[in-house]
Amino acid sequence: MTLFKKRTLAAAISSLVMLPLAQACTSVIVGKDASASGALMISRNEDFSTNNWAKRMHVYPRKSYKAGDVITLSNGLKVPAPETSWRYTAMNDWDAYQNSNDGKVFEERGVNEFNLAMSATNSAEMNEKAQKVDPLVDQGIIEQNMTGLILSQAKSAREAVQLLGDYVTRYGAGEANGVQFADTKEAWYMEIGSGHHWIAVKVPDDKYAVIANGLRIHDVDLGDTQNIMHSKGLLEFTRKHKLLSKPDSRNFNFAQAFGKLGDLYNTDREWMGQNLLSASVKQKIRQDQYPLFLKPDQKISVTDIAKVLRSDYQGTQLKGKGKRPIGVDRTSEAHIIEMYPNMPGELAAVIWQTPSNINYSPFIPVYNVMSHVPKVYTQGKDHYDNSSAWWTFRSLGTLASPNVMEGKYKKVVDGVIDSAEHYLVKTHAYTRDMLKHMYKDNQDMAIQYASNYSNGLLQTAYDRAQFLQSELMTDLTRSTEKKYSPEEFDKIKKL
C-alpha cells in the first residue's frame, strides 16, 4: 500500500469515527440527607462515540467584558457577554480550540467561585409529535456550550435553572437533554424537552435519582413553585397540541409528553441503578417508567455511586439481556461532585474526577480552589500521547483488554486502581476535617493546602499510572521473545 493510500485510509477512518459526539451518559443525583457524607452529590459518566477522545481539565479565571461585547458559541449562536464571567472549572474536549472561538466545547462539568456545580448533559430523544409542534432550533442552546455559559454567570442552583431556561426560551434549544445543578443547599434536575419547553425539579433531601438518556421527569405538581420550575405556558401547550391524553397539572408527566418511554437502552440502566441503591424495592425489569426519586437502602457514598457508574448486569435478571451496561469502554471521563453544607465556602466543593475511562481510572478528589492543574492533565488529543494523563490511564485499559495477552493484565490493573481509589476515599474524611480546623486558624493556609493537596494527588496518580504502564509494557515486550531451549540460550549469551 502506498503512503498516499495509507493516508487516505486514515483520513477516511477519522471522518467516520472521530466525530465529537457525547452520547449515552448515565447520572446519579443524591440529596444531602441521602448522602453518607452529608454532601449533596451530582455525578455522571460522559460516554462518547469513540474511546480515544482525550479530555482536559481546565480552570477558567474571572474575566471582564465591555458593554456590548458578544460571545460567539461553537455552533454560531451569538449571546450578550456578561459584565463579569465568574471563575469556574471544566473538563473540556481536546479539540475545543479548533471548534470554538472561546475554546469552550463539551466542558461537561464544573464548579464556579460561588459554589454552583453543574453537569451537562444526559442526551435524550424527543417523540415525533413534540418534535413536530416545537422543533429543535438549529442554532440553539446545546451541550457543547452549556456548562461554561451558565457557570460563568449564575450563583445558585435555582438561579442556574432559571438562566438556562431563559436561554432556551429566547434562543431555542438545539437538543433535548437532562442537566444537573447543585449548590451547598439544594440540587436540581432539569430537562429540556423540545425547542422551547423545559422543566426542572428539586431533588428531595432524602432521595436520589438515576438518569439514563430518556426524559425522566413525571408525577410532578406544576403548581409547587418551591420544588418545580418550568417554561411558561407548558401545561397549556401540552393541552393544545394533545401531547398527553389528559394533562394533569398536579400529576404532570413531562417525559411522556415530550420524550420516548420504554426505550430499553435507557430503562435497563435506570433499573440497574435503582436496584443497586434500593435493592429492597422490588421492581419489574423493563417498565416504561420508573420512579424518578427513591430512598436508598443505606446512605449513599462516593463508592456507591462509583459502583453504579461502573456497573454491568452480571448477577441480575438482566444478565445477557441488558441493552448496554452503565460502565462502557467509550466512557471518556466520569465525575462525582460533592457540595458540603458544613464546610467553609472555599472548601465546600470537592470534585471526584477520573483522569480517563471510569474502569481504568480512580476517582481522585480535588478541591475547587486550584488556580491550575498539573500540565499532564491539560494535554492529549485523539492519538496516543505519553505526556498526557488521559492517555496514560486510557492505555492501562488497552493493556488490560482481553485482546492483549488474553486479559492477563486486567487483574493487575483493576487491583491497582481499586487500591488507589480505596485509599483516597478512606483518607478523604480525615483531610476534610483537618482542613476545616486549619481554616479556623488560618484561612489562606487552608486554601493553599487544599490546592497543593489536590495537585499532589493528581500528579501522584499520574506518576503511579506511568510506572504501572511501564512495568506492563516491559512484561509484554519480554513475552514476545521466542522461547529458546537451554542450549540455544546458552549459545546466544556467548555470542
Residues annotated as catalytic are 25
Task: Indicate the burial class of 143 (C-beta count within 10 angstroms; 0-12, 13-18, 19 or more).
Answer: buried
Distance, in Å, from the CA atom of 23 to the CA atom of 329, rounded to the nearest integer, reads 13
Cell of 367: 478541591
Q: How far apart are CA 172 and CA 149, in angstroms?
A: 15
Residue partners of 142: CB distance under 8 A and separation at least 6? 75, 173, 174, 175
The Cα–Cα gap between 84 and 81 comes to 8
- The three grid cell numbers given for residue 460, joined into one nine-digit string: 501522584
- Please give the full DSSP string across 54-115, using - where no structure is assigned: -EEEEEEPPEE--TT-EEEPTTS-EEEPPSEEPPEEEEEETTHHHH-TTS-S---EEEBTTS
Give the three cell numbers for residue 240.
393544545
Q: Which of 217, 133, 131 is nearest to 178 (CA)?
A: 217
Query: Which residues are within 8 A (CB) of 76 and not within 5 positions of it... i.e. 6 or more apart?
Result: 139
H or E element at residue 474: helix 443-479
Q: DSSP string spanning 356-419?
A: S-TTSS--EEEETT-S---GGGG---SS--TT-HHHHHHHHHHHTSTTSGGGTTHHHHHHHHHH
Alpha-carbon distance of 157 to 149, in angstroms, equals 14
Q: Quick check: 462 and 389 in contact, CB under 8 A?
A: yes
Closest CA to 336 of 360, 361, 364, 312: 364
Contacts of 419 (CB under 8 A, 6+ apart): none
Q: What is the dihedral of CA 91, 428, 181, 45, to 10 degrees?
A: 50
Contact 92, 58 (CB under 8 A): yes
Alpha helices in 152-298 (DSSP H): 157-171, 234-240, 254-258, 264-277
Cβ-proximal residues to 225 (8 Å cutoff; 6+ apart), any chain: none
User: What angle do the packed helices 410-441 and 443-479 form, to 10 degrees?
Assistant: 170
